[in-house]
Amino acid sequence: MKKFLKTLPSKLWILLFAAVIFTFFSNDFGLVDIQKTAIILAAGIDRTEQGFSVTAQIAVPDSSDRTKGGTSSVNIEAEGATVSDCISRIYSKTGWVPKLVFCNLIVMGEEAVKEDVVSYLNYFLRNEYMPDSCLLAVCAGTAHELLVSESAIDDSSSIAVTKLFSEEAKKSGKVLVTSLKDFAIGYYGVSESGYLPFVRMTEQVHAGEKKDETRPEEERRMIYSAEETAIFSHGRMVALLPREQTLAFSMLQGNVFAGTFNARDGDEPVTLSVLTNDGGVKLSFSRGPRVEFSLDLRVRLCCRGLAASMDDIAGDEVKGEILASAEEILSGYVRDLYETATESGCDLFHLRRDLYRSSLSRYAEWKEALPAAAVPSYRVRVHSTK
């Protein structure tokens, strides 16, 4: 015991020394100063004559108002020949070290997607400190305008836009979400195709209030929607799917739960809610390629456009007439979706990929002709809850 006590101070010194060394080498002494760090929440990319313009939405600490929640942000724009060049200029303009580790959204302006988007997305794909689970979106106008806009519902436009891409929104069938990783897999795969949500912003106008174009920019509050979907082939946007086709594509992917769509009961509109959604696209060969689109939905009546009796509201079963109308409407959506995709040259349903995986010899024979050469058939079934 005496010996132990005698050596105790030296042991404690060794422990202390080890702790200090450990802290030093784990870089705790050299942590990047938060005051000198730009935590980028979202990046907006536009094409310019010079090359690119990047708008970085940077989170800033806001200690002045403790009653206010959320995240304050500033937008810094820089132009350059490449995205990396732009990011470096943001650094030199502000003295803040740009960190992409929390970047959850990359928005591309309308003009920026007319040429191969991987020419600038590759910067993010190469960056080890950038999460490839980050979401991608295209927007109407420029990405700069979108990011600098004042959101009516959130402190930062990027956070408001990201909320459009929640799991719940995805289940509603109103929006299709793609991450950087998934888009890259589609681009580098044999289908060379993909899709991204298309964001539009509109000014929030209160009931009875008229839209005032003369109102100063900083007083305008915007709301965002992403019900349309931009589809891509070889990295270029080739068509825009309207909201109906976005819904049809979501249903074909089996994404929809509790989402709604409109059908007709005679001449009256009714809204149906989807309770189960099985969807699929199957490629087969019988005297040439054939593609079968199948949708199997179980629905219930959600709302009528007119006053209804209590019996009607309490009743669970949806009338056959409504179901037939729903089948017809959805078949039309799917048909339009397939036509839009094939006419634009986008292999949206990954028919080339499916063929490649199933038969290399058939793939060699048909890869150029697909998806246009495939003969489509549609099987849409809508059932009532009872």
Tell me the C-alpha distance between 279 and 295, whole Å. 5
Closer residue to other proteins in complex, CB, 4/129: 129
The answer to whether 30 contacts other proteins (rule: CB under 8 A) is yes
DSSP secondary structure of 93-153 = HH--EEE-TT--EEEEETGGGSS-THHHHHHHHH-TTS-TT-EEEEESS-HHHHHHSPBSS
* Cβ atoms within 10 Å, residue 73: 21
Tell me the C-alpha distance between 115 and 232, whole Å. 10
Q: How far is the CB of 127 from other proteins (least distance, A)?
A: 11
In the set 74, 88, 99, 332, which binds other proteins (CB under 8 A)? Answer: 99
Span near other proteins by CB under 8 A; candidates 21-29, 63-71, 137-145, 216-224: 21-29
Closer residue to other proteins in complex, CB, 20/372: 20
Strands 37-47 and 105-109 turn out to be parallel
Residue 287 zone, left/alpha/beta (φ > 0; ψ -120 to 50; rest): left
Q: How far is the CB of 130 from other proteins (least distance, A)?
A: 10
The answer to whether 16 contacts other proteins (rule: CB under 8 A) is no
Closer residue to other proteins in complex, CB, 86/103: 103
Closer residue to other proteins in complex, CB, 360/375: 360
What is the b/e burial string over 19-44, where b = at least 16 CB atoms within 10 angstroms of the residue's CB? eeeeeeeeeeeeeeeeeeebbbbbbb
Beta bridge partners of 225: 200
Closer residue to other proteins in complex, CB, 258/360: 360
Site string for other proteins, 349-378 (x = CB under 8 A): -------xxxxx------------------
The answer to whether 51 contacts other proteins (rule: CB under 8 A) is no
The answer to whether 4 contacts other proteins (rule: CB under 8 A) is no
Footprint (CB under 8 A) of other proteins, residues 182-201: 184-185, 188-189
Q: How many residues bind other proteins (CB under 8 A)?
A: 28
Q: How far is the CB of 354 from other proteins (least distance, A)?
A: 8
What is the b/e burial string over 79-106, where b = at least 16 CB atoms within 10 angstroms of the residue's CB? ebeebbbbbebbbeebebebebeebbbb
Q: How far is the CB of 342 from other proteins (least distance, A)?
A: 23
Q: How far is the CB of 118 from other proteins (least distance, A)?
A: 11
Closer residue to other proteins in complex, CB, 167/219: 167
The answer to whether 131 contacts other proteins (rule: CB under 8 A) is yes
- Residues forming contacts to other proteins in the complex (CB under 8 A) are 21-22, 25-27, 30, 32, 97, 99, 101, 125-126, 128-129, 131-133, 167, 181, 184-185, 188-189, 356-360
